[in-house]
Amino acid sequence: MELQQIKYFLALAQELHFWHTAERMFITQSALSRQIKALEDELGIKLFERNKRNVKLTEAGAFLRDQWLPLLDEINRTHLQARKIHEGASGLVRIGYPGSTAYGFMPNLIASISRTMPELKVELVEPTDISFEQMLLSYQMDIAFRRDPAENPALHSEYLYSEPFALVVSDDHRLNEKSFTGLHDLKGEKFILSNLAQTTFYTASLRQIFEDNNLTPDVRIESDFGGMVLGLVSKGLGVTILPFSYSYSELPNVRFIMLPYQMNLYVTWRKNDNSSVLRNMLQQAKEAANEYTSQIDRI
């Protein structure tokens, strides 16, 4: 018994006319008759009562029609869903991202995905104590945005864009873009930063900034969450250095002063992942990166 035979049966059960059904199913009337006869022989059931004038379902045929019709609808929906997954328009994708992209790049990307792939379910992951690479290799993430390229040979990374670091102070702070002459202006200031003893690429970049300027920051509050750091700066509890993308949070009572240091963003994925969803995601990421860098260039 083949699925196509069931489709012929259901069509005939609806039309109750061999010629009309054959025309609708794009086969000859004799071929339709052979398919129905083969189905009846295989099942050992008479499905239709037919004579020269009329075709009607037997009681067994009516039972199978009522059972098979919803099953066929479910099969068609399943096939459609499988096609969408194959084309990368449906399914689930797990995206890892650093918190610093949460106000600029990532909203652009997710908005683009929602417009172009509305049936794709997105799960956002912001790792803290587990590395991006570990989560990719263990299939806890499908694609990751990170500040440095992957080191593991099983992963591939592609550069997306660069953005400046910024000094962040409260609105009533003595420093602004005109009065700021360099990080030496920050001697004696209280800092709110990530733990600089961490081995992440981000904290290594911060340490390099301070070393270049011969400045040992007086860190009074430590936090790895940029949103929290911004909130504390807005309360006048200290100053910080963050990627410029945090300025898109539009948090009141904070001021961003660009610094002559850059922070890169890369997209990383498993080399053996050839899925259509991934291909679509990479294209969306490149377009979102171009949009975001255009915003920065206009500032």
Q: Which of 36, 63, 86 is the last residue of a domain?
A: 86
- Same domain membership, residue 139 and residue 99: yes
Task: List the chain pLDDT tens, one digit each, 299 residues.
Answer: 788 888 888 999 988 888 888 888 899 989 989 999 998 999 999 999 987 778 999 999 899 998 998 888 788 766 655 665 665 555 788 899 988 899 889 998 999 888 888 888 899 998 765 688 888 988 888 899 999 999 899 999 999 999 999 999 999 999 999 999 999 999 999 999 999 998 888 899 999 999 999 999 999 999 988 999 999 999 999 999 999 999 988 899 999 999 999 999 999 999 988 888 888 889 999 999 998 888 777 76
Q: What is the pTM of this model?
A: 0.68
Same-domain pairing of 151 and 114: yes
Task: Give me the domain span that covers residue 15.
Answer: 3-86
Using CA atoms, how far apart are residues 235 and 170, in angstroms rounded to an integer?
A: 7
Give residue 179's Cα distance to chain centre: 42
97 and 127 together in one domain: yes
Measured distance CA(24)–CA(33) in Å, rounded:
14
Residues 134 and 278 reside in one and the same domain:
yes
Q: Is the Cα torsion angle 130, 135, 138, 139 positive or negative in sign?
A: positive
Domain boundary among 86, 103, 134: 86
Domain harbouring 187, CATH code: 3.40.190.10
Beta-bridged to residue 159, according to DSSP, are 266
Residue 213 and residue 282 share a domain:
no
Q: How many helices (H) and strands (E) does the chain have?
A: 9, 10
Q: CA 263, 264, 268: angle at the middle one, nearest 5?
A: 145
Residues 256 and 281 in one domain: no
Instruction: Tell me, rounded to whole angstroms, the distance of Cα 295 from its chain centroid.
Output: 22
Which residue in the block uniquely carries the two structure tokens 């000094």? 167
CATH number of the domain encompassing residue 71: 1.10.10.10
